Amino acid sequence: MKPTDDTDREPSGSPSQAADAASPRKSRAGEGPRFAPGHRVHLLRGGADFFPAIRTAIDQARKSVMVETYIFNDDATAEGILQSLQAAAARGVEVSVVIDGFGSGEHGRLLAQRFAQGDLAMHIYRPERWWHLFRGKGVSLLKRLHRKLAVVDDEIAFVGGINMLDDYIDPNHGVLSDPRFDFAVRIEGPIVGDIALSMQRLLWQIRLAQPPVALSGPDRQPVAKQLRERTRQALAFPRRFDLPLPLPLRENVAVAFVPRDNIRNRSTIERAYLQAFDAARERIVLANAYFIPSGRFRKALMRAAQRGVRVQLLLQGRVEYPLQHHATQALYSALLAAGVEIHEYGRSFLHAKVAVVDADWATVGSSNVDPFSLLLAREANVVVRDAPFNAALAQALEEAIAERAVRVTVPPLSLWARLRNRMALALVHLAVFITGQRRGY
């Protein structure tokens, strides 16, 4: 029988069915995240915190390491992670890595070939290419693995928005003058088991559904070699992350793991946001790279602002992807009229997907607030209930707003700008309509 390539379909009789029934933190439809107490949580601010922390965990691994990422880049920082993973595998640790077939591109296929016969198990999630749009795979192409997760020895988990990609490199724009603005968390405690289970389920589905992935032909090697050489020449500065940095630590914290997929967790992340917004009393601070929310998401923010909650949005100020950038700007007028503050981050590229609501709710994860994340991609966030943790994240966001962002007080006024933005938003809505996932958009 020819294996299906739909790894979002849960095969009957999978091991997840019994596990779902047994998990006390599994949310039923319509419920919010289930919190478990007793966690140690570190807030990781960008790659300067994240890469030393994850390398230290991998270097100390005794039994297993699992990693999922959208992009596994070809740069010195990502290569350092690979070296730690290889060293772990060489000493007998079970190591598996899942990378997205579109996000990691041809370099991902090179990695899969490089480790095809080794102890490090490298898997590619949906290895489609852009030209598959013309072969009837358009919707499938948008169902990406966008999660950034790692679990070490079933004891330590990393969740956030940081790819295996140097903070000073952008795959489309080259070397950056300032680091990308992003966050992750390092977690120890009961919820790590749920994160590991989610990753194991995906591995099981990939192994069942997909044959091994190879390069298209020998002509791919020279292209990949040129790309590696160009990237390394651009890196005129050393990027070594060998020693752990002191990290802000919180003990006995309540945490919930909130995954999103196309099986049973279709609306979990958006629902967690909406419940927090509706309960907000004082403030909402949200930083998101790609902000094209559903109608109900926008209305929840506007209702909060209208009842006196201070709502601050930190959004992308640089044009990374023109369609998303201008579609976001088309939403400014209504948000500003309702009293929502909008700040555009301009120091570098904003990649964060985080929010703080009042003093007792915060989320860090991989999910953008756009239809591609909330309706199609596999995503993963955590929600943290801890006042000092929330205060630390809020302080980082407030500093970015004050020092590295520009406040938007009026929407674009020129006729051309308004038409451009509305056309971009219409194209996003058209893409959503074509996928058939129109809930709230």
Domain membership of residue 154 (yes or no) is: yes
Q: Give pairs for 214-218: CB < 8 Å, separation 24+.
A: 214/109, 214/112, 214/113, 214/116, 215/106, 215/109, 215/110, 215/113, 216/109
Is the confidence at residue 387, as pLDDT, over 50? Answer: yes
Domain membership of residue 248 (yes or no) is: no
| pLDDT (average), residues 73-97 | 94
Domain membership of residue 22 (yes or no) is: no
427 and 292 both lie in a single domain? yes
Nearest-angstrom CA–CA distance, 162 and 327 = 24
C-alpha neighbours within 13 Å on the C-beta side of residue 61: 31
Domain membership of residue 2 (yes or no) is: no
Q: How large is the greatest C-alpha to C-alpha distance in the chain, in angstroms? A: 63
431 and 287 both lie in a single domain? yes
Q: Considering 173, 203, 234, which residue would you say is the last residue of a domain?
A: 234
Domain membership of residue 11 (yes or no) is: no
177-233 pLDDT, tens per residue? Answer: 999 999 999 999 999 999 999 999 999 988 887 654 443 444 444 544 544 454 444
Helix (H, G, I), strand (E, B) or coil at 131: helix
| pLDDT (average), residues 293-318 | 97
Nearest-angstrom CA–CA distance, 293 and 68 = 25
- DSSP structural state of residue 158: E
216 and 266 both lie in a single domain? no
99-120 pLDDT, tens per residue? Answer: 999 898 888 888 888 887 778 8
Domain membership of residue 6 (yes or no) is: no
186 and 72 both lie in a single domain? yes
Q: Considering 203, 234, 265, which residue would you say is the last residue of a domain?
A: 234
388-432 pLDDT, tens per residue? Answer: 999 999 999 999 999 999 999 988 789 999 999 999 999 999 888
Nearest-angstrom CA–CA distance, 184 and 354 = 9
Number of separate domains in the chain? 2
217 and 361 both lie in a single domain? no
279 and 428 both lie in a single domain? yes
> Which phi and psi (to 5°) does residue 249 adopt?
-115, 135
What is the DSSP track for 217-238?
A: -TTHHHHHHHHHHHHHHH--S-
280 and 187 both lie in a single domain? no
124 and 262 both lie in a single domain? no
Q: Taking all residues of the chain, what is their mean pLDDT, rounded to a whole number?
A: 84
145 and 114 both lie in a single domain? yes
Nearest 5°: CA angle at 378, between 254 and 23?
45
173 and 285 both lie in a single domain? no
263 and 219 both lie in a single domain? no
- DSSP structural state of residue 329: H
159 and 304 both lie in a single domain? no
What range does the domain containing 337 cover?
253-435
Domain membership of residue 269 (yes or no) is: yes
* Residues labelled catalytic: 146, 148, 153, 351, 353, 358
CATH code of the domain covering residue 426: 3.30.870.10
Domain membership of residue 293 (yes or no) is: yes
Q: Considering 174, 200, 234, which residue would you say is the last residue of a domain?
A: 234
417 Rama class: left (phi>0) / alpha (psi -120 to 50) / beta? alpha
